[in-house]
Structure 1
Amino acid sequence: MKWRTERRRGWSGLIMAAMLLLAACSGGNEDGNGAAGNSGTDGTGNATAGEAEAAAAAEKVLRIRYYDDPAGFDPATIFRVENENIAFNLFSGLTSYSPSGEIIPDLAESWETDDNMTWTFHLREGVQWQKGYGEFTAADVLYSYDRILDPATASPYASEFANVASYEATDDYTVVIKLKSPDANFLHVVANYHQGQIVKQEAVEELGDQFMWNPVGTGPYMIESMKTNSEIVMVRHEDYYRGPAPIERLVFSIIKDDDTAAIALQNGEVDLAMRIERTELLERLEADGFSLNPLYDRAVNLRIFNTDVEPLGEVKVRQAWAHAVDWASNIAATNPMGDSPTINLLPKWMEVYTDDVPVYDYDPEKAKQLLAEAGYPDGFSVTMHVRSVEEIDQLEQENLRAVGIDMQFEIVEAAMYNQIRNDGSFEVSGRQLPAINPDMILFSYLHPDNIAPNGLNGARYDNPELTELLEAARAEIDADKRKSLYAQVQRIALTDLPYIPRLSANGFWPGFDYVENVVINPLSQVNFYEVDMTN
C-alpha cells in the first residue's frame, strides 16, 4: 500500500513543480518589474505562498467509483442509493444527519415545538443557491413541498407528508408546519433525504424535464458535467453556507463490475470505491492495505409478496416460503462479509428494533406442511423480475424447488425494474430501503395509504389492527410507550409476513488511506463535505 501513496505523492509533487515553474515564467507585468498587479510572485519571479496554496488546493480531486448509470437527481423522483449519494451532497433539507444518523440543523438553524404537532423552523439567512439563483428563503421550502404533493409530479414520497395539515411562511426566514396528529419523528420528514430536499422553483421551471440531470441545490457540491455511461463530475459550491469543502472536485467514474472496480482501485485509477461488498474482493483489498470504511447492518433486504396474487395472498404460503429457504447458509455461502442474517424489517441498530418477533428457521418439512394446509400440496409457480440473477437468488430458487415452489426469473433493465416495483405490477420482488426514521420503513411498507403505486407498499398489505398501532406509535410522545407500540407492529408484520427479511446488508467503501473521514451514515450516504485528502 505504501508504494501507491508514494506514487500519488510523487505525481502531486511533479504537478506542483510544473505549476510553480509556469507561474515563475509568467510572473510580472509588461514592464517586467514583477512588483505590481496580480502577478502571483514576490517580485523576484518566485511563486508566492498564496499561489502555492492555491495550486495545492486545485490538486484536491477525489476520484470515486460509481457503480451504475445515473438515473437522475430530482428529489421528487430520485431512486437508488448511488443517486441519493449525489443528491445528499447537492441539496439540503431543513434538517440533516450527522455521520452517526443523528438529526442536526441544516437550512433551519433552529426549531421548536410544544406538542409535536406545530413545528416552527427558523431558517438560516444568507444561504446561496448554486449557479447564481440567489438567496434561499422560506418560499423555496413551500414550493418544494407543494411540488412533492402535486399529483402531476407523481412523487412516490408524497405520502411522507400525509400527516401534514398545513405549512406557511410567516416571514422570509420562518416556516410553520402543522400536523394532523403528533409525530415525534417529524424532523426526519424534513431532513435532507427525498421529500425533505429543497429545490429552486426558477431552476425547476427553466429546466423542465432536464432538471433531474441539471439539478440546482444549496449543498456543498454541484454537478459540473456528466458523460453518459462514463462519469459524473461535481465541483464544490464556493458559496456554501459552511464554507467551501476541502476537496474541490469529485469525479465519479462509472464502473459497474465489482471486480473491475477493485482492480481500478488497486491500480490507482480511483481513490475510493463506492460500494464494494463481495467478500473475496474485500478480503483482497484489506490484505493489500486499503481502508474498508465499513457500515454494518446498513439496511434490510426484503422479499416482497404481492398479496393480491394467489396463492401469495395466503399467509401460510408466505410462511412456507420463509421456512423453505436456508437464509443463513445461503449468506454464508455467498457473501458473509457483505451480508448478515436478520429476522426483522428494521435494522438492528434502530432504537425501536425488537427481536421478540416470529422467527422462521430453515425447515423444509414445515414448509411442505404449510403449503398443504394452504391447499397447495403440489406447490405452485411464480415469477420474479430481477435486474440480474445473483448466486444467492439461485440458492433461494433451489431451496424453494425442493418444497414444490417453482420460482422463475425474468430479467429486465433498470428503468423497467423500478417501474414494476413502484407500480406494484409484480408477483414477487425485492427491495432494500435505507432509513433512519422507523416510520420511513414501517409506514412505507405497511400502511394502506402507501399501497403501490401511491407508495412503497408493494405487498398491498392492509391490516387495520397494525395500522392503528402504527399511527399510535408515531403520535406517542412517551418514548417507552412508543417503543412498545412499535414492537407490537413488528410482531404482527412478521406474523402476517407480507415481506420476508432476507438479509441485513453491510456497506463498504474501500479506499486509499490518504482519503480521510469516509463515514457511511445509516442512509448509506457519505457526506463529502467532511472528506479530505492528505498527501
Structure 2
Amino acid sequence: MTHINRKHTAALFILMIGIAMMFTACSQTGGGSNSGASGADSEGNAAPAAGGEAGKVLKVRFYDDPSGFDPASVFRIENENIAFNVFSGLTTYDSESGQIIPDLAESWETEDNKTWTFHLRQGVQWQKGYGEFTSADVLYSYERILDSATASPYAAEFNNVESFEAPDDYTVVIRLKDPDSNFLHVVANFHQGQIVKKEAVEELGDQFKWSPVGTGPYMFDSMKVNSEIVLVRHEEYFRGPAPIEKIIFSIIKDDDTAAIALQNGEVDLVMRINRQEALVRLQDAGFEMNALYDRAVNVKMFNTSIKPLDDIRVRQAWAHAVDWTGISEATNPLLESEAFNLLPKWMDVYTENVPRYEYNPERAKELLKEAGFENGFTITQHLNASNGVTDSDQLEQEFLKAVGIDLQFELVDAAVYNQIRNKGEFEVAGRQLPAVNPDMILFSYLHPDNIAPKGLNGARYNNPELTVKLEAARAEIDPDKRRELYAEVQHIAMSELPYIPLYSANGYWPGYDYVMNVTLNPLSQVNFYEVDINK
C-alpha cells in the first residue's frame, strides 16, 4: 500500500489504515486467503470455472440489490448494465471509443442541430412476441418520460424538445427549441433514450421494471430476490443472436466475497471490484483485469439549499480541509487518481483552467471564520450500507474534525440511498458521474431545470450566469466557441463548489482469460453482445 509522504499527516494515516487492516483481517474467512486452494494452481495462476451447462453460459457477479430496470427510473451502474443489454436507443456507443453509432436508427440527418430526422431499421423485433418495432414506439417512450405521472428523473433531458413527429412507421422527426450539438446522446441507449413497448408497459404495470421488455441482444428471464438475475439470448435480435446463450448475474455484495467466488470458479467475471486489497489479490493470481482508466469522476454533493452549506465559503473550507490526493494514494492507488473538475479528463471540452483547492487547513479555518462558523458545525452524510464507512470516509472525517467540522455518517440500504439522492433529501451525499456527453454532467447536475426531484441536480444549485453560458454552449455550432463556453461553465462550478470532485475513478471487471471482449465503455457499461467464452 502506498503511504502519503507528508509529515503532518503520516501518523494519522498509519493509525487509520492500521485499524482498517485489522478489521479486514478479522472479517476474512479461510477461503479468502491467497493460497492456491481457492481456484488457483500451485503457482497462484487463475483456474477455470467449472462447466456443465448446455450451450454457453456466463456467470457474472452483480454487486448490489437491484432497484429495477425501467428506463424511466433506472439508476446506478449495475442496474444500467442490465438495461443497456435489454433495451436499445436510436443511437448507442462504440465500446472502445465511446463514439455515437447507429442502433435502432440506421441513419439520421440535421442541417442546423435543431431539426433531427431519424431513419429507423425495418424488421426489428420486440422480445417476447410483442411484434415489430416502429416509430410509434419511439414517440410513446419519449412521451412517457415527459408524462408527470411517470415521475421520471430524466424528464428534463427532453426540455429542449419542441415536438416529436412520426411521418411514417420508420421515420422520426424531432424538432428542438434551440440547437443542440449533443442531441444524439439524448436519444442514445441510456436512461430516457431507451425505447420501451407500450403494450408491455401497460400489461405489466408496476412489474415492468422487474420484467423489462426491449429490443436488445438479451431478454430478461427471471430474478430471485437477493440471489440472481438471469438474461437469455434474444434469438431475433436485429444484429443476429449473441454468442452467449445465458448470463447469470449472482448477487454478491461484498467485494472480498466476490473475489473469492471468482477464485473458486463460482463466477467467470466480476462486475466491478472497488476494494484495493481484493484487486491486488486477483491481479497477482493472474486474472484478466478488464480495466477502464479515468472512467468517471466521483463527487461529494452538498445540499446548497440548507445552512451552512448554502455558503460558498463553507464548501470551499471543506475542500481545503481534506488532503484528497493523500487519501487516494494511501487507500486506493489502483482505483483512483487525482480529479480537479467535474468532467473526466478524456472529454473533448474538459479544461484544467479551474480553481484548485490544495490541502490547507489554516485556509479552511479562515473561511469558516469568515462564514460565521469559527466554532465549527455538525453535518450528516448518507452512505450506502453495502459499502459501509470506508477507510477514505474515516480519514476525511478526521481531517474535517481538525478544522471544526463534525461529520457524522448515516448508513441506509441502496434503495433508500438512491431515493434520498434523487429527491435531494440529504445534507451531504456522494455520487459518481459516468458520462459520454458533457451535458449528462453539466446540464444534469448544474441546470436549475434538473433540481431534484425533477432531475439529478441534488445539490439544488442555481446560478443564472452559469445557466446562460451552459445553454449557449449546447446551442453553439462552432466547436471552438463551444469549448470556450463549456470552459467558463466549469470554472464557475469549481469556484462555487456545489460538488467537490474527489477523484477520477478507474474501473475493473476481473475475470478469467477465456471470457473474451469485455470492454467497459465510458458509461461503465459492458455490451454483452460482444462478449464470448472460449475455454
Instruction: Return the TM-score normalized by structure 1.
Output: 0.90
Please show how residues 106-145 of structure 1 align to structure 2 within 5 Å. 106-145=103-142
Which amino acid is the alignment partner of residue 453 of structure 2?
P
Structure 1: distance between partners of 2:420 and 2:515: 39
1:84 alignment partner in structure 2: 80
Q: Does 1:220 align with 2:214?
A: no
Residue of structure 2 in register with 1:24 after alignment: none
Corresponding residue of 2:374: 377
**2:466 aligned residue:** 466
Report matched runs for 1:451-530 at 5 Å: 451-530=451-530
- Decide which of 101, 105, 108 is 1:104's aligned counterpart: 101
Distance 1:320 1:344 in 2: 17
Letter of the structure 2 residue corresponding to residue 141 of structure 1: V
What residue in structure 1 maps to residue 362 of structure 2? 365
> Could you list the per-position Cα deviations for residues 283-334 of structure 1 after superposition, in whole angstroms to 9, with x for gaps in the alignment?
2111111000000111111111111111111111110000001101111121
User: What is the rounded CA distance, in whole Å, between the counterparts of 1:6 and 1:278 in structure 2?
Assistant: 19
Q: What is aligned with 1:203?
A: 200
Which consecutive residues of structure 2, in runs of 5 or more, have no partner in the other structure? 1-39
Task: Give the equivalent residue in structure 2 for 1:20.
Answer: none
Q: Assess if the C-alpha contact under 8 Å between 1:113 and 1:120 holds in 2.
A: yes
Secondary structure of the corresponding residue to residue 116 of structure 2: strand
Aligned length: 491
Answer yes or no: is the 8 Å Cα contact 2:86–2:219 preserved in 1: yes
How many Å separate the matches in 2 of 1:301 and 1:5? 33
Map of 2:26 onto structure 1: none
Q: 1:413 to 1:270 in 2, by over 3 A?
A: same
Residues 1:351 and 2:316 aligned together: no
**Mapped partners of 1:7, 1:345: distance in 2:** 40
Q: Is it true that 1:313 corresponds to 2:310 in the alignment?
A: yes
**32, 49, 71: which is aligned to 1:75?**
71
Q: Aligned partners of 2:416 and 2:249: how far apart in 1?
A: 24
Q: Distance in 2 between matches of 1:68 and 1:410?
A: 18
5 Å matches for 1:225-374?
A: 225-374=222-371
| Distance in 1 of aligned mates of 2:87 and 2:381 | 35
Could you report, residue by residue, the CA deviation over 1:232-285 in whole angstroms, capped at 9, with x for unpaired residues?
110000000000000111011111111011011111111000001222211211
Q: Which residue of 1 aligns with 2:533?
A: 533
Question: Aligned letter for 1:303?
Answer: K
Query: Counterparts of 1:77 and 1:225 in 2: how far apart (Å)?
Result: 20
The corresponding residue for 2:13 is none
Equivalent position of 1:37 in the other structure: none
* Residue pair 1:271, 1:512 contacting (<8 A) in 2 also: yes
Deviation at 1:2, TM superposition (A): 7.3
Question: Whose relative contact order is higher, 1 or 2, with alpha carbons under 8 Å and at least 6 apart?
Answer: 2
In structure 1, what is the Cα distance between the partners aligned to 2:110 and 2:46? 54
CA drift at 1:5? 9.6
Instruction: Indicate conservation of the 8 Å contact 1:278/1:337, yes or no.
Output: no
- State the AA in 2 paired with 1:286: Q
Cα distance between partner residues in 2 of 1:461 and 1:69? 30
Q: Distance in 2 between matches of 1:239 and 1:153?
A: 30
Specify the code of the residue in structure 2 equivalent to 1:301. N
CA distance in structure 1 between the aligned counterparts of 2:309 and 2:219, rounded to whole angstroms: 45
Q: Does 1:63 align with 2:64?
A: no
Partner SS state of residue 323, structure 1: helix
SS in 2 for 1:304: strand
Once the two structures are overlaid, the 10-residue window that deviates more, 329-338 or 120-129, is 329-338
Larger radius of gyration: 1
- Identity percentage over the alignment? 72
Determine helix, strand or coil for the equivalent of 1:211: helix
Question: SS of 2:138's equivalent?
Answer: helix
Q: Secondary structure at the match of 2:340?
A: coil
Letter in 2 for 1:77: S
Q: Name whichever of 407-416 and 340-349 sits farther off.
A: 407-416
Q: Which secondary structure does the structure 2 equivalent of 1:187 belong to?
A: helix
Which of the residues 176, 180, 198 maps onto 1:179?
A: 176
Cα deviation for residue 208 of structure 1 reads 0.1
TM alignment of 1:385-404, pairs within 5 A = 385-387=382-384, 388-404=388-404
Q: CA deviation at 1:425?
A: 1.4
Q: CA deviation at 1:446?
A: 0.7
SS of the residue aligned with 2:410? Answer: strand
| Counterpart contact for 1:384–1:407, Cα < 8 Å | yes
Aligned residue among 75, 90, 94 for 2:90: 94
2:210 aligned counterpart, secondary structure: coil
Contact 1:296 1:507 in 2 (8 A): yes
Name which of 154, 174, 178 aligns with 1:157: 154
Q: 1:492 corresponds to which letter in structure 2?
A: I
Shift of 1:172: 0.1
Letter paired with 2:307: E
Indicate the larger mover: 484-493 or 275-284. 275-284
Amino acid at match of 1:70: P
Inter-partner Cα distance in structure 1 for 2:364 and 2:309: 14
- What one-letter code is carried by the residue in structure 2 that aligns with 1:319? Q
For residues 125-175 of structure 1, give each alpha carbon's deviation from its aligned partner in whole angstroms, at most 9, with x where no partner exists: 000000000000000000000100000000000000010000110000000
User: Aligned Cα RMSD in Å?
Assistant: 1.5
Cα distance in 2 for partners of 1:445, 1:166 equals: 25
Decide which moves more: 503-512 or 415-424.
Answer: 415-424
Distance 2:358 2:215 in 1: 48
Deviation, 1:433, is 2.2
CA–CA distance in structure 2, aligned partners of residues 446 and 262 of structure 1: 37
Cα deviation, 1:90-114, whole Å, max 9, x if unaligned, reads 0000000011211000000000000
Partners of 1:277 and 1:337 within 8 A in 2: no
Say if 1:5 and 1:512, in contact at 8 Å, map to a contact too. no
SS in 1 for 2:500: strand
Q: Contact 1:167–1:175 at 8 Å: present in 2 too?
A: yes
Q: In the alignment, residue 98 of structure 1 is paired with which amino acid?
A: D
Task: Return the letter of the residue paired with 1:367.
Answer: A
Which residue of 1 is the match for residue 145 of structure 2? 148
Letter in 1 for 2:252: I
Residue 45 of structure 2 contacts residue 286 of structure 2 at CA under 8 Å; is this kept in 1? Answer: no
Moved over 3 A (4+): 1-9
Cα deviation for residue 59 of structure 1 reads 2.5
| Structure 1 position 458, deviation (Å) | 1.2
Worse-matched range after superposition: 240-249 or 379-388:
379-388
Q: Provide TM-score, normalisation by structure 2.
A: 0.90
Distance in 2 (CA, whole Å) between partners of 1:197 and 1:429 is: 28
Amino acid at match of 1:210: Q
- SS where residue 211 of structure 2 aligns? coil
> Residues of 1 paired with 2:380 and 2:287: CA distance?
41
Does the CA-based 8 Å contact 2:61-2:258 persist in structure 1? yes
Paired position in structure 2 for 1:433? 433
- Secondary structure in structure 2 of the residue aligned to 1:484: helix
Q: Distance in 1 between matches of 2:511 and 2:64?
A: 18
The one-letter amino acid of 1:82's match is E
Equivalent AA in structure 2 for residue 149 of structure 1: L
Task: Determine the structure 1 residue equivalent to 2:37.
Answer: none
Secondary structure of the structure 2 residue equivalent to 1:529: coil
